[in-house]
């Protein structure tokens, strides 16, 4: 099998498991990786539908494409999925070290194997920036387990798992579409989301309130909070907390401020509050993080 269908990954995150290295695996190609606590990935294009499941850890991700930014929070058990042709200019991540499994849903393989008539193959086009589904995580875990065991169940099992994953992703999209036709999720306009993101980043040292942010969009606090969560896929307080920790990571790497000074500049009430939040999100204390990167 060629490597063209394999998920493209950041050079700084070499795979720890790679399906293309075992010719006995005849399903969708996939990679298992362990990413460090922070980094960036320049450029992304996938020729096939691409899905990544977080096996362990958690991190915040900022996708940048032209003038558009998108913030996503991913944790253990969540997944993201993007249609073929999706492009990002830059992807930044920060949080706890993450182990993930990325699958390239190359349906041309299923067509070539004639597993199903062309018209019945799942058409994958929905975007999932941060979702959870037990079916997806179970199927992906079984794909990994089968490869690790030497593909003992044979070709049919690998093909069946791949077809099941494509069908499940398609099914989630259809379920979501049906639900949204009755109850569409209200979202912030792109210009509002960009304004809020810029305002938060410029005001992290301040004691922000939902009222402050809601005023920027001229909405009531309740309507604003719901639209914010639907747009950024996390509540306002968690988003601000993650942005504060992300700024703290940058400041800690400079080593020209004390940890107490970093805490105040990033909007934490005191060093103790900063340490608790940092450890919860990153998995270590600011002091240990600074020693590790210093």
Domain CATH code at residue 251: 1.10.10.60
Q: In which domain, by residue range, is 234 found? A: 190-293
pLDDT digits (tens, 9 = 90+) for 153-178: 888 788 888 888 988 888 888 876 65
Residue 103 lies in a domain: yes
**In what helix (H) or strand (E) does residue 244 lie, and over which residues does it extend?**
helix 236-252
Instruction: Answer yes or no: do 123 and 42 share one domain.
Output: yes
Q: DSSP letters along 84-134, please?
A: TT-EEEEEEEEES-EEEEEEEE-HHHHHHHT-S-GGGS------EEEEE-H
Nearest to 35 by CA among 85, 98, 118, 86: 98
Starting from the edge strand earliest in sequence, which strands make up the sheet with 15-18, in order?
A: 15-18, 30-35, 98-105, 49-56, 78-82, 128-132
Task: Please tell me the distance from the alpha carbon of residue 237 to that of residue 54, in angstroms, as a whole number.
Answer: 23
pLDDT digits (tens, 9 = 90+) for 70-129: 788 888 999 999 888 877 778 888 888 899 999 999 877 766 655 444 444 557 888 888
> Which of 128, 159, 182 delimits the end of a domain?
182
Residue 5 lies in a domain: no
Q: To 10 degrees, the CA torsion angle through 20, 38, 78, 80?
A: -60
Q: What is the CATH number of the domain that holds 42?
A: 2.60.120.10
Residue 65 lies in a domain: yes
Residue 3 lies in a domain: no
Instruction: Answer yes or no: do 103 and 207 share one domain.
Output: no
> Which of 131, 163, 182 delimits the end of a domain?
182
Instruction: Answer yes or no: do 219 and 156 share one domain.
Output: no
Residue 211 lies in a domain: yes
Instruction: Answer yes or no: do 52 and 124 share one domain.
Output: yes
Residue 63 lies in a domain: yes
pLDDT digits (tens, 9 = 90+) for 11-66: 667 889 999 989 889 889 999 999 888 888 876 677 889 999 999 988 888 887 77
Residue 202 lies in a domain: yes
pLDDT over 50 (residue 197): yes
């Amino acid at each position: 099998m060629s490597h063209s269908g394999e998920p493209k990954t950041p050079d700084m995150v070499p795979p720890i498991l790679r399906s293309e290295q075992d010719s006995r695996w005849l399903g969708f190609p996939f990679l298992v990786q362990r990413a460090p606590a922070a980094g960036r990935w320049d450029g992304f294009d996938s020729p096939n539908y691409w899905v990544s499941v977080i096996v362990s850890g958690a991190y915040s991700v900022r996708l940048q494409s032209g003038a558009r930014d998108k913030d996503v929070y991913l944790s253990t058990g969540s997944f993201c999925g993007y249609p073929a042709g999706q492009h990002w200019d830059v992807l930044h991540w920060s949080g706890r070290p993450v182990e993930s499994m990325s699958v390239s849903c190359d349906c041309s393989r299923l067509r070539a194997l004639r597993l199903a008539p062309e018209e019945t193959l799942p058409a994958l086009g929905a975007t999932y920036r941060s979702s959870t589904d037990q079916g997806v995580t179970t199927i992906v875990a079984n794909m990994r387990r089968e490869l690790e065991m030497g593909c003992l169940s044979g070709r049919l099992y690998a093909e069946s798992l791949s077809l099941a994953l494509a069908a499940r992703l398609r099914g989630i999209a259809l379920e979501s579409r049906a639900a949204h036709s009755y109850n569409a999720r209200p979202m912030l306009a792109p210009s509002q989301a960009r304004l809020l993101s810029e305002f938060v980043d410029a005001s992290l040292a301040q004691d922000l309130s939902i009222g402050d942010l809601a005023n920027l969009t001229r909405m009531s606090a309740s309507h604003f909070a719901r639209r914010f969560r639907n747009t950024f896929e996390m509540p306002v307080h968690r988003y601000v907390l993650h942005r504060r920790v992300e700024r703290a990571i940058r400041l800690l790497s400079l080593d020209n401020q004390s940890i107490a000074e970093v805490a105040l500049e990033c909007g934490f009430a005191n060093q103790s509050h900063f340490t608790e939040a940092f450890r919860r999100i990153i998995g270590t204390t600011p002091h240990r993080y600074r020693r590790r990167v210093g």
